[in-house]
Structure 1
Amino acid sequence: MKKTTLLLFLLSFSLWAVPAWAQKEASIWYFGGGAGVSFANPQEPQALKDSKMFSEEGSAVLSDAQGNLLFYTNGMQIWNRDRQLMANGSELKGHESSTQSSLILPKPGSSHLYYLFTTDFQGQSHGLQYHLIDLSKNNGLGEVTSKNNLIFAPVTEKLTAVRHQNGRDFWVITHRWNSSTFYAYLISPQGITFKPVESTIGAMHTGDNGGTIGYMKASAAGNKLAVASWAPLNKIEVFDFDNATGQVSNLVDLGKFDEAYGLEFSQDGSKLYGGKNGLNGGEARIFQFDLRAGSTDAIIHSGKQIGKSTSRKIGALQLAPDGRIYVARNASNWLGVIRNPNALGMDSDYKDAGLSLGTQKSEFGLPNFPGFYFQNIPAPTGFVVQQQQK
């Protein structure tokens, strides 16, 4: 009887656990000047050369739960799994020179409908738009069945998503331009709730249109939100996020970072990484903050440089299925890699020439993936993760 009970327990555990470990929606990356990476084998990421896309900054890619490509976009065009333009997939009102030009989410409750959200560049009039993609069309190659639907303008180039506490819905989060207000839009089986949850907190995003530039990222658990702002704001901020209500709270201003652009959380949520370039570039540096250091002052003072790049400018930082964080080096055939991002300080192990892209080049962006795709990935293998101080 005990053996039977144990067997049933193990079987039920495996049935529960497998879907979490089998999530491979972020297995394929396309970005930059025709560049790509496959994480089909997370221990040996491979450069891809079959992309048809150019994007100076933002892009988004989605694969299915088994890691098979579904489609990808720069916010202006969409390419299907055959790497051809999707039906009705051109003349979208995003912009490939927007930091987070695009974001893909499945429509809750549907197996074949997907939302694509796009942002215009530098706070221009196209703002935040949504487009609906039906992958049941054209023998699975898909079709854009509704496009260029304005949600709100003007917004900054910041765009991310968090899974709702209920495990089904999503929050799509952006920041209003000429404002200090975050907008969080609920996405449910009923569609998009067009009245956002508003949170007025943090820096005023205003002035020169360059202030629209820079990433917004959510932690894998969805409880933290971070914002990097390019000149003239030149700063990095981190907040708490309530994935039940959509509210942003508890600002920690991490200080001045000239031409701040990319940032990312470690998979365990304990560290935040941010990049800066220096005024007019030439000082590409990566910093780490220990979010478990204690008080607000302790978090601020935990900041330390953990890497620098030979590239004049660096862009996006993006967590990957192998547990590492990849760094876009502008106009380079290489990505930088933070090889052990859960670890403290220099043990995080930044390598500037971390992953070769072959003959293809990175620009400023990497694919814009919601953090929740990485919530259940293991820590990088081959490295000892430093234990957190209690």
Structure 2
Amino acid sequence: MPLRLLFLLVVCSLQAGAQFTDRYWTFGDSAAIDFRNISNPVPGESVLRARGNCASICDSSGNLLFYAGAPYVPYWLSGATIKQGYVVNSSHQMMENGDTIVGTTFYQEMVIVPNPGNSNQFYLFTCEIIPSAEQGFYWNLIDLSYNGGLGKVIQKNVQLQNFPVNDGLAAVKHGNGRDWWVVHTRWEATIGHNEYFIYLVTSDGVFPQPVQNIGDLLIEGFLRLKFSQNGELLVATGSNHTIDLYDFNRCTGLLSNYRQILLRTEPTLEYLTWSSEFSPDNNRLYTTSIPYGNNDTLSCLLQFDLTALDIRSTLDTIQTFLDPFICGFVKLGPDSQIYLSHFTDLNDCDFFYLYCDTTYYPEIMNLSVIHQPNELGALCDFRPYSFYLGGHRSYHGLPNNPNYELGPLAGSVCDTLITSVSQVPVFEPAQLKLFFHTGWRQLFVNGQQLKGKQGSLSLYSVTGQLLRREEISIQPPYYTRQWDLSGTAAGVYIVVLETEKEQVSGRVVVE
């Protein structure tokens, strides 16, 4: 065996051994659940105040590494300063460079994926669904080797797509047990789409795959995606009364076997379908709803039997709830029980829809729990408002964490660490990624594959006039910088990053 190939296999084997878990949830208004004792989860704490969007990741022992979230801001205030995601370290403080994360306005617009090539690094994927200059799909890179393990965001707001993305990011581990797949869909207000955008995350970076067109055309801004525990099923839950089910190939990233579980035309569905979760054995699907239409006070927890030939006919209402205490998201816990969050509209003193300091009710200070989710009907043992949050409160959302403990597909063609050796590049040229946020008047500069350690960052007009220059220090291969351009006139500008080893440049439009 060639020495280089042997070396790569050894390195990949070591990296594949890094194990992460989903054992500390952060969500809602300073709420958390500590699952380190899997048989006795207890309430924890966080500094979040997130109506929906949140994600977290832990080490193999269940110790929190970091988490991320975002407040909710109405779409008509899309330029408001508060509308930004943020990353929090394990000491519950803002991570260095962890503010101003683009997107993350609603409920399921962020997900954390380990970097298969570096056990200290993690991708935070985010999206923005509201049509604007900031719409699109982004990644951020977090490195925990900085600040004594508390971490730093070393690449921020790198844009992969520039169209509105549905509220519903999902991630699942590749069949080789090391790499990852990340999935999102497209949204337009008047045009139906059935495009699934899938990305392969390897030790070499993030690679867009061919777009897959599958399923019916949907006009849907809230299309939540969720993988089953074994990663072989993907459900797409749309607020317009649609639930679609697909098979997913963890080796190829291909969707197939489209099945429509619910249609908007169902006469009994006078509510919006809101979120979904699979049972641990992948045979049941639980869905929540929120009030809508004629039944504007009704919220439900539903169950489907995925083993039936006619899945739609197995719809079973496990529990109904009356407004103002309605269902939020469902999520499978590390303890194989499914948790249900709750939200209330009894809150009229905060313009940003976050709870007032006086808004405390038992219904939002507890989560509901399905104790036997593999069982049908009443045998699932649903217990409403049974998990106390230690004085904290829930909103709609629960953390959008994938199954970090999912292993390789044993015995399959992709159960080998050799599969991505051919993807390792012999040489990667330096790159410069630029993104200008019109609302914040901030330019996000991200250098990649850099080799130099000292240099300069310059801003030029299109006529070549130097407008700004600063000396910079770099820790290769990444460099990130956030420039305030609030005093810069609208126009086209050139950014140049130069080191003793390379020079890269790019064009940015300031609006």
Matched, 1:167 2:181: no
Matched, 1:306 2:318: yes
CA distance in 1 between counterparts of 2:407 and 2:287 reads: 20
- 1:58 and 1:367 in contact (8 A); partners too: yes
Q: Which has the higher helix share?
A: 1
Aligned position for 2:204: 190
Partner residue of 2:259 out of 252, 255, 269: 252
1:1-390 superposed matches below 5 A? 25-48=21-44, 50-75=45-70, 76-95=85-104, 97-122=105-130, 124=132, 125-152=134-161, 153-178=163-188, 179-193=193-207, 195-206=208-219, 211-230=220-239, 233-255=240-262, 256=264, 257=269, 258-279=271-292, 281-293=296-308, 295=309, 298-310=310-322, 312-331=325-344, 332-371=364-403, 373=405
CA RMSD in angstroms comes to 2.1
CA distance in 1 between counterparts of 2:406 and 2:41 reads: 16
CA distance in 2 between counterparts of 1:129 and 1:199 reads: 20
String of CA shifts for 1:330-372, please: whole Å, max 9, x gaps: 1411111111111122211111112111321100100011135
- 1:214 and 1:260 in contact (8 A); partners too: no
- 1:267 and 1:375 in contact (8 A); partners too: no
String of CA shifts for 1:14-70, please: whole Å, max 9, x gaps: xxxxx99x966111111011111111112222112x311111111000111111111
- 2:36 and 2:61 in contact (8 A); partners too: no
Q: Which has the higher strand share?
A: 2
- For normalisation by structure 2, the TM-score amounts to 0.64
Q: Check 1:214–1:57 CA distance in 2 against 1; reply closer, same or farther (3 A cut).
A: farther
AA in 2 matched with 1:133: I
- 1:228 and 1:235 in contact (8 A); partners too: yes
CA distance in 2 between counterparts of 1:364 and 1:214 reads: 15
CA distance in 2 between counterparts of 1:322 and 1:214 reads: 27
- 1:155 and 1:174 in contact (8 A); partners too: yes
Gaps of 5+ in 1: 1-18, 377-390
- 1:122 and 1:157 in contact (8 A); partners too: no
Structure ID, larger Rg: 2
Query: What SS does the corresponding residue of 2:40 show, helix, strand or coil?
Result: coil
Aligned residue pairs, count: 345
String of CA shifts for 1:109-168, please: whole Å, max 9, x gaps: 211111000122445533211000111011111000000011112210110111111221
- 1:163 and 1:171 in contact (8 A); partners too: yes
Query: What SS does the corresponding residue of 1:306 show, helix, strand or coil?
Result: strand
User: Which range moves more in the overlay, 116-125 or 266-275?
Assistant: 116-125
* Identity across matched positions, percent: 32
Offset of 1:314 from its aligned partner?
A: 1.2
CA distance in 1 between counterparts of 2:303 and 2:50 reads: 27
CA distance in 2 between counterparts of 1:138 and 1:23 reads: 22
String of CA shifts for 1:48-107, please: whole Å, max 9, x gaps: 2x3111111110001111111110001500000110000000000022x32212100110
- 2:21 and 2:403 in contact (8 A); partners too: no
- 2:112 and 2:124 in contact (8 A); partners too: yes
CA distance in 2 between counterparts of 1:358 and 1:117 reads: 30
Query: What SS does the corresponding residue of 2:373 show, helix, strand or coil?
Result: coil
Q: Check 1:313–1:121 CA distance in 2 against 1; reply closer, same or farther (3 A cut).
A: farther
AA in 1 matched with 2:173: R
Query: What SS does the corresponding residue of 1:52 show, helix, strand or coil?
Result: strand
Query: What SS does the corresponding residue of 2:211 show, helix, strand or coil?
Result: strand
CA distance in 2 between counterparts of 1:224 and 1:350 reads: 24
String of CA shifts for 1:197-247, please: whole Å, max 9, x gaps: 3221223332xxxx31252100011110001111xx222111111112212
- 2:301 and 2:327 in contact (8 A); partners too: no
Q: Check 1:107–1:136 CA distance in 2 against 1; reply closer, same or farther (3 A cut).
A: same
Query: What SS does the corresponding residue of 1:301 show, helix, strand or coil?
Result: helix
- 1:267 and 1:374 in contact (8 A); partners too: no
CA distance in 2 between counterparts of 1:144 and 1:23 reads: 21
- 2:54 and 2:400 in contact (8 A); partners too: yes
CA distance in 2 between counterparts of 1:93 and 1:339 reads: 37
- For normalisation by structure 1, the TM-score amounts to 0.84
Gaps of 5+ in 2: 1-15, 71-84, 345-363, 409-511
CA distance in 2 between counterparts of 1:263 and 1:123 reads: 26
